[in-house]
Amino acid sequence: MDAIKGFAVALMLAATPVQAAKLPADVPVEVGMRVEGALAIGSDGRITALEIDKQDALPDAVAALVRSTVQQWQFEPSVRDGVPVPMDTRMTVRVVARPGANETFNVRLVSAHFEPVKSDAERAADIRGRMLPPRYPAEVFRNGGQGTVYLALKVDEEGRVIDRIAEQVNLRSAGTPRQMDAFRSGLAKASLEAARKWRFPQSAGDAALGQPYRTLRVPVTFAIDQTPADDLGHWRAYIPGPRSRIPWVTGADSAGFSPDLLTDGTATLADDPDAPRLLTPLSG
């Protein structure tokens, strides 16, 4: 989208949660928000209806960007008994604002995640796993470290975590490169230790039922202050960390997926076979 004027000051005020310390020029601070909605996809894979959640609360530029981008998408048709059929899906996208010329911001849609529409009971099942939260690492806490760890968990048929990795760690606190490395390491270690004891029992409706294992993604947020960590519908500044490959997964994620699209405290099945597949480029 072209550089957008008129909300630069408000954007910067909303983006202040990345704390303290003067950052080196090569540290990639981003300002972004998540937007959720619902799509109706026709039997030909084209969008027939789009509903953006709480659209009136979003900046006009963001709502316009999401609407204009999504309406150009085409998905792989859903097939039932050999016949293409319409389908409904939930959508989460990430919008990032980057500084442009003359105190403007360039706003882009950079990632997207899709999952089948679920009932309230099915959504409750996404967080039914016994997930005692990790303890805040004392050294990280003392130094003001905050952020979100995006875990990938290999879960067996009994619901036990048999392997785990911190796929990405995004920070909301600045520091020297050494401090930020320590923040990421400390938060990841605490999350991985807690995840070792988590359990995720299967239900009859699980898409991975009968498989020897499934891969679940679970975000874990560490926050000290009272600023909401969730960026759903809100601009939040963060320092994205490097993304690691999940060693036991051989296939690629769906186009445009990023772990930071997921909701804190939920367990999301990776590569859900029931989720729609986007065929067109994410941003045109």
Strand segments (E) across 139-196: 147-156, 161-171
Query: Quick one: CA dihedral 55, 57, 61, 66, positive or negative?
Result: negative
pLDDT per position as a tens digit, 54-82: 999 999 989 999 999 999 999 999 999 99
Domain ranges of the chain: 8-121, 124-269
Distance CA 162, CA 215 (A): 10
Residue 129: CB partners within 8 Å, gap ≥ 6? 159, 198, 199, 200, 201, 216, 267
φ, ψ at 65 (rounded to 5°): -60, -50
Q: How many Cβ atoms sit within 10 Å of the Cβ of residue 119?
A: 9
So what's the pLDDT on residue 253?
Answer: 81
Is a pLDDT exceeding 80 seen at residue 14? no
pLDDT per position as a tens digit, 220-252: 999 987 655 678 888 988 999 999 999 999 877
Residue at 224: amino acid letter: I
φ, ψ at 74 (rounded to 5°): -135, 135
Distance CA 19, CA 218 (A): 25
pLDDT per position as a tens digit, 180-200: 999 999 999 999 999 999 998
Q: How many Cβ atoms sit within 10 Å of the Cβ of residue 59?
A: 20
Distance CA 157, CA 278 (A): 29
pLDDT per position as a tens digit, 100-135: 777 777 889 999 999 888 766 655 555 555 788 899
Q: Among 3.65.10.10, 3.30.2420.10, 3.40.50.300, 3.90.1150.10, name the CATH number for the domain at 124-269.
A: 3.30.2420.10
